[in-house]
Amino acid sequence: MLAELTLARIRDAAERIRPHVVRTPLLRWGRGEPCELFLKPESLQPTGAFKLRGAVNKIATLPSDCSGVVAHSSGNHGQAVAWAASRFDLPALVVMPNDAPAIKRSRVEASGADVVVVGPDSDERAARARQLAHDRGWTLVEPYDDVEVAAGQGTSALELIEDAGDLDRFYAPISGGGLMAGCAVAVGALCPGAEIVGCEPEDAGDTRASLKAGKRCTIPPSVSIADGLRVRRPGEQTWPVLQKWVSRIELVSDDEMLDAMAWALHSVRLVLEPSGAASLALALREGQGRCGVLLSGGNVDAGHLAEATTRAAALV
């Protein structure tokens, strides 16, 4: 992927997905002289998260004799694949964990996909999806370890920079690395002086540990409220891209993500899920200069939304 994931490929993906996805707005928020936030709310996509970009780009490039698609996901990638498959008249099957938020599973099913439920470990659902794809002769649409998926995700940073101009820092969450891989290539090419900063939950810092070790590291299963960021190791293909382009990775707590969700509700009237608020939490903690912030999704369960609403009510 390192050689294949280029700015030109991301630009091609942008043209390919244009009829199907929303060009989400850029929200500018000044926090005083030291920091200006340029927020990219991918929560406003039809499926509520950035994942639609990669899913549409991948499925649009499949051969005409493709008979169906399989995905594994804690929710957002599954929703995206189900939605995109329906637009391209393909059947879809999504393997999901038994602790996925109910709203995410119901929306996968509402788009016409079948759901297979497994345990909470990301490795288990990936293995089951591979087996099901093999058994059915369908195409596996990986959530991150695929160059067309990563190129599609990178279109979000491309749009952000087109609208905001040059950046001093760029913040995005990291799970398997598809979003950050695509975004980092775009930011690195268009804003070569920008610091590219990833964020992970406190107990899901696999990519942070990997960067420090100089090799892919596997961590124990996470119990963070950020269900979209619980992958246990960086993707095999995304890892070299992350290693080349990402300046550093910081960790955020569940409490910081809930506070960031509350801030988004109060200050910019946005509903975010914990995973979607991770980058915002870090930017609010340390942002300096012109900061691009990728808000990755808004498919939040009722309990976390209620907690964020309570916290937002206390803000002045």
Q: What average pLDDT score do residues 56-75 get? A: 95
Q: Cβ distance 78 to 65 under 8 Å? A: no
Residue among 111, 275, 279, 296 flagged as catalytic:
296
17 belongs to a structural domain: yes
The last residue of a domain, from among 140, 170, 188: 140
The secondary structure element, H or E, covering residue 139 is strand 139-140
Distance separating alpha carbons of residues 3 and 25, to the nearest angstrom:
30
Can you give the pTM of this predicted structure?
A: 0.95
| Res. 225: pLDDT tops 90 | yes
From the list 51, 74, 156, 275, the catalytic residue is: 51
Last residue of a domain, one of 89, 108, 140: 140
What mean pLDDT do residues 180-196 have? 98
- 51 catalytically annotated: yes
State the pLDDT confidence band at 256, using cuts at 50, 70 and 90. Answer: very high
Q: What percent of the chain has pLDDT over 70?
A: 99
3-51 pLDDT per residue, tens: 999 999 999 999 999 999 999 999 999 866 689 999 999 999 999 999 9
Stretch 286-310: mean pLDDT: 96
Number of structural domains, the chain? Answer: 2
Instruction: Write the single-letter amino acid at 72.
Output: H
Whether residue 93 is found in the same domain as residue 173: no
- Give the per-residue pLDDT at 34: 87
Read off the CATH number of the domain in which 121 is found.
Answer: 3.40.50.1100
What is the span of the domain harbouring residue 234? 7-49+147-313
The pLDDT of residue 316 is above 80: no
Shortest CA distance to 154 belongs to which of 292, 43, 50, 18?
50
Confirm whether 1 is domain-assigned. Answer: no
Measure CA 133 to chain center: 23
